[in-house]
Amino acid sequence: MNSHMQSVLGYLGLLWLVAYFFGKDERDDTSRYHLKQGFGLLILGALCNSFALIAGLISINVAAILISVGFAFLIFSVLGIIHVINKVRKPLPLIGKLFENRFNFI
């Protein structure tokens, strides 16, 4: 698996695990950057979905708002893949700067 494919898989939810575990030998700085962005997106998406599930038990209106926020994660994933295709190391809008210097295990 080349670094370009790793970067794309990094934005596709649980396929991030495939990119992380099966591509350690071919990883470069750009793929590490996109894996960090994708991992942060995965963590925030999981937290948002968990809150939406809990909020759904309490109020359907709050859950609907959190689910609509979840669509933003889909848009962020598409933007991340576009950055990979264009070979640009650009952070995701609004949340990308949070992940640039985190997740040192990647």
**pLDDT by position in tens, the chain (length 106):** 788 888 899 899 888 888 888 877 777 888 888 999 999 999 988 888 888 788 778 888 877 787 788 788 889 999 999 999 999 888 988 888 888 778 877 7
Amino acid at site 13: G
Structural domain containing residue 65: 3-98
Would you say residue 104 lies in a domain?
no
Would you say residue 65 lies in a domain?
yes
Would you say residue 106 lies in a domain?
no
Counting the structural domains of the chain, the total is: 1
CB 83 within 8 A of CB 89: yes
Tokens (6 digits) for 66: 């959190």
Would you say residue 89 lies in a domain?
yes
CA distance 44 to 61: 21
Would you say residue 105 lies in a domain?
no
